[in-house]
Amino acid sequence: MTHPETMRPASFLDGGGELGALMRAKDWSTTPLGRAESWPHELRMVVRLLLDTRQPMFVFWGPALACLYNDAYRALIGTDRHPSALGQPAREVWAEIWDTIGPQIEQVISGGAAIWQENQLMPITRGGRREDVYWTYGYSAIAQEGAPTGIGGVLVICTETTSHILAERMLAEYAAARTEERDRLAMLFAQAPSFIAMLSGPEHRFDMINAAYSRLIGHREVLGRTVAEALPEVVGQGYLELLDRVFLSGEVFTSRDSKYVAPSMQGEPARVAYLDFVYQPIRNPAGDITGILVDGVDTTERTLAEIALRDLNDTLEQRVAAEIAARSETEAALRQAQKMEAIGQLTGGIAHDFNNMLQGVASGIELAGRRIAAGQPDKAPPLLDAARDAADRAAALTRRLLAFGRRQALDSRTIVADELIQGIAGLIRQTVGPAIMVELVPQDGSWPVCCDPNQLENALLNLAINARDAMLPDGGRLRIETAHVTLTATDTSDWEAAGPGDYVRITVADTGVGMTPAVLARAFEPFFTTKADGRGTGLGLSQIYGFMRQSGGVLRLESEVGLGTSVHLHLPRHAAEPGTGKASANEGPAAAFVGGTVLLVEDEPVIRELMANALRELGYIVLEAANGLDGLAALQRALDGTGVDLLVADVGLPGGLNGRQLADTARALAPSLPVLLITGYAGDAIDGASRLGSGMEVLGKPFELKLLAERVQALIARGRSKDGALPQTPPG
């Protein structure tokens, strides 16, 4: 084997695609690294590894932490940094996120302890604009003989997981019980970046697979066949035994970097893949296990890169190799435990709850159809009501998941917290019961805050119910207190998004059993609950956490076993004058029917038809469009002709113009035009009604057509009153 020092000058830079060519052409003498021929052999070996792999990798080397990277990494950072970053100090290249990664790099260099981060949010500038980008990456020390600390630099292996994170959030949006919505969920299932399969029965028969799973197994026909029949190679590799164990025990199984050898196909050699996956039992409403959900990702590139790095480090001193091996084992065990806990908790919670709800929807519709077919239509309504109830519970679960992910559409307004609390005090007392004394401690001259009053009421009621359950059966005291607090940068140093300033703190404190430190540490995890089966979803606190973060505030917990729990909600002080403090701008007397013309822009044909028919039955003239551009064209025609009284637009429109953009354009053409935005998932288009103009409101899907009619009627009535027009009488 040729030692790096005996290679011809810079031969280690051969190959490597575009970056290899740039490195060979670059005058390294002008950089902190100096001439390439003088680089130490450890750096040369790492650069050789870096150029040969398709895994995104880069190196920080020397006192200046000069940057070297490969083609795969160049594709992720875009033209904002490439090729100027090559050979430059890391602090200059990544100045915008140095506060995050700088201490991590320093930790690795100073102590040699590796860093591993999964799905880390890194807002960076890419393609000329600011993006929220998620990364999974590891920092590992590169030993160097003769270096003062024994470490010459840091090797970084990374993967951008933004699309995976966004895909997971999209899968949580399923909120309706119609066939069209199930088809839409099936499309999301098919396009998910992770490989997914649904197995039924103890023989593990394939019911569903997505495209990623089909690619993994070589596009073989497996639906309707058992795992043993369709994939005989897994029998000898131990996977069938694992499926049997999960089905019999009901325990989730999670694995990382599992080796899977796919058989040779059409004369090609057998392929070896490495997989991260979870086997999640699926239960019916009775609690019996009916199948297994398989969900995972192909980590072959990452694993091979890690193996190559281990092989590289094996050539260094025995002491360094032993330290790295021990550190790698500790990190692997920690990542394994964390992933098993997180994936099992979240996947199991979603699968369990949605399967129960879908079972209720499917069974109710099926039985109603049988009654109608049997000539007994009078027996169908209760069954349809049961299906609707299951759909409503699914919608509520989706709203809670959106709240936890800070993606719900908020109807924010300026309120006084004490007035809101006083308004629901009677409901709180009725909810907790006579065994619990409710004490209100208001703040004199309470500062106004800006948030969604309805969500704040729900949060306080949820906390009151949690407090009640913690004080059963003996009862106790529930205290709801508001206070003004002014916090410094030191006070808010661990508050993530919230910063120093004036806050209104709402404290909900009980004298219940309290939480252990282990429970307190997991209190905000979705689907985690200490309540008995059927008494809690585990989404209450996570929903409140997401609502507070989305409102610019923060949620804090204090608890001690035997002494009770205090929940502190901090909402930023707001400068505007408070409004009514009601939960919705539409509360109050119903507006008189005013008629008029409604422009309805909705891309789902069935939903658009149902909404249009409902409004036409009430006497409105309805203009329809299926996307943003067609909607804008219809609006311009209406403004040039008979006019339009209200724009109703879905936020998530296709065609290059979403609903929010269409609304803003419409208000530019007709500043007083009322707008009703409807959404199942607003994403970045709407972040609460605080960003909407006067006369613009948000209605979340799913909704009753009756509520749609009320919103349309109220918005047109208010628009007419501002324009001085007289209300019309209903037709007929």
pLDDT at 2 over 50: no
Q: 41-52 and 17-25 helices cross at what angle (nearest 10)? A: 140
Best CA proximity match to 596, nearest among 453, 445, 455, 720: 720
Q: Give me the pLDDT at residue 668, please.
A: 92
Number of alpha carbons in the 13 Å side-chain half-sphere of residue 74: 20
Give residue 168's pLDDT band: very low, low, confident or very high (50, 70, 90).
confident
Q: Give me the pLDDT at residue 693, please.
A: 74
Distance CA 49, CA 26 (A): 19
* pLDDT mean over 340-356: 54
Query: CA quadruple 547, 551, 554, 560: dihedral positive or negative?
Result: negative
Two structure tokens written together for 108: 């690795």
Give residue 257's pLDDT band: very low, low, confident or very high (50, 70, 90).
confident
Classify residue 617 by burial, with Cβ atoms within 10 Å: 0-12, 13-18, 19+: exposed
pLDDT at 191 over 60: yes
Q: Give me the pLDDT at residue 270, please.
A: 79
User: Contact at 8 Å (CB) between 229 and 273?
Assistant: no
Two structure tokens written together for 363: 């069974």
Q: 162-171 and 179-191 helices cross at what angle (nearest 10)? A: 160
3-class state of residue 472 by DSSP: coil
Range from 48-57, 357-366, 417-426, 504-513 carrying the lowest mean pLDDT: 357-366
- Express each pLDDT in 528-558 by its tens digit: 666 655 455 555 677 788 778 878 888 888 9
Two structure tokens written together for 238: 């131990």
- Express each pLDDT in 424-451 by its tens digit: 998 899 888 888 999 999 988 889 998 8
What residue segments make up the domains of the chain, in order of their start?
4-160, 413-572, 597-723
Best CA proximity match to 402, nearest among 702, 619, 102: 702
Distance CA 81, CA 567 (A): 45
User: Contact at 8 Å (CB) between 349 and 327?
Assistant: no
- Express each pLDDT in 683-726 by its tens digit: 545 554 446 777 888 887 778 888 899 999 999 988 887 654 43
Q: Give me the pLDDT at residue 329, please.
A: 75
Q: Give me the pLDDT at residue 526, please.
A: 64
Phi, psi (rounded to 5 degrees) for 316:
-90, -175
Cis peptide bond upstream of 448, omega within 30: no
Give residue 367's pLDDT band: very low, low, confident or very high (50, 70, 90).
low
- Sequence-separated (6 or more) residues with CB below 8 Å from residue 165: 119, 134
pLDDT at 345 over 60: no
CATH 1.20.1440.230 fits 597-723, yes or no: no
Range from 51-60, 321-330, 457-466, 549-558 carrying the lowest mean pLDDT: 321-330
Two structure tokens written together for 72: 């795969």
User: Contact at 8 Å (CB) between 193 and 159?
Assistant: no
* pLDDT mean over 666-691: 74
Distance CA 247, CA 202 (A): 7
Give residue 4's pLDDT band: very low, low, confident or very high (50, 70, 90).
very low
Best CA proximity match to 352, nearest among 316, 393, 311: 393
Q: 318-373 and 300-313 helices cross at what angle (nearest 10)? A: 170
Distance CA 216, CA 295 (A): 12
pLDDT at 79 over 50: yes
Q: Give me the pLDDT at residue 509, please.
A: 94
User: From residue 120, how far is each of 116, 270, 683 by CA, in Å?
Assistant: 10, 35, 19
Q: Give me the pLDDT at residue 227, please.
A: 94
Phi, psi (rounded to 5 degrees) for 205:
-90, 135
pLDDT at 637 over 80: yes
3-state secondary structure 328-391: HHHHHHHHHHHHHHHHHHHHHHHHHHHHHHHHHHHHHHHHHHHHHHCCCHHHHHHHHHHHHHHH
User: Contact at 8 Å (CB) between 437 and 478?
Assistant: yes
Calculate ∠ Cα 716-720-724, nearest 5°: 175
Rg (CA), the chain: 30
Two structure tokens written together for 306: 């890690």
Give residue 229's pLDDT band: very low, low, confident or very high (50, 70, 90).
very high
Distance CA 537, CA 438 (A): 25
pLDDT at 171 over 80: no
Best CA proximity match to 86, nearest among 106, 61, 123: 61
Classify residue 278 by burial, with Cβ atoms within 10 Å: 0-12, 13-18, 19+: buried
More confident residue, 385 or 304: 304
Give residue 78's pLDDT band: very low, low, confident or very high (50, 70, 90).
confident
pLDDT at 586 over 50: no
Q: Give me the pLDDT at residue 684, please.
A: 46
Two structure tokens written together for 317: 């001193």
3-class state of residue 482 by DSSP: strand
Instruction: Round the average pLDDT of the chain to a whole number and report it.
Output: 81
- Express each pLDDT in 113-159 by its tens digit: 889 999 999 898 888 888 889 999 999 999 888 888 888 999 999 98
DSSP states along 277-312: EEEEEEE-TTS-EEEEEEEEEE-HHHHHHHHHHHHH
pLDDT at 343 over 70: no
User: Contact at 8 Å (CB) between 704 and 683?
Assistant: no
Percent of the chain with pLDDT over 70: 77
User: Contact at 8 Å (CB) between 254 and 340?
Assistant: yes
* Helix, strand, coil share (%) of the chain residues, nearest 5: 45, 25, 35
- Express each pLDDT in 231-242 by its tens digit: 998 888 999 999
3-state secondary structure 586-647: CCCCCCCCCCCEEEEECCCHHHHHHHHHHHHHCCCEEEEECCHHHHHHHHHHHHHCCCCCEE
Q: Give me the pLDDT at residue 702, please.
A: 78
* pLDDT mean over 360-378: 73
pLDDT at 589 over 50: no
pTM of the model: 0.37
User: Contact at 8 Å (CB) between 565 and 692?
Assistant: no
State which CATH number among 3.30.1360.70, 3.30.450.20, 1.10.3720.10, 3.40.640.10 fits the domain covering 4-160: 3.30.450.20
Give residue 671's pLDDT band: very low, low, confident or very high (50, 70, 90).
very high
Query: CA quadruple 454, 460, 463, 467: dihedral positive or negative?
Result: negative
Instruction: Mark 560-583 as b/e (b = at least 16 C-beta within 10 Å).
Output: eeeebbbbbbbbbbbeeebeebbb
User: Contact at 8 Å (CB) between 40 and 287?
Assistant: no
State which CATH number among 3.40.228.10, 3.30.565.10, 3.40.50.10860, 3.40.640.10 fits the domain covering 413-572: 3.30.565.10
| Strand-strand pairing, 253-262 and 271-283 | antiparallel
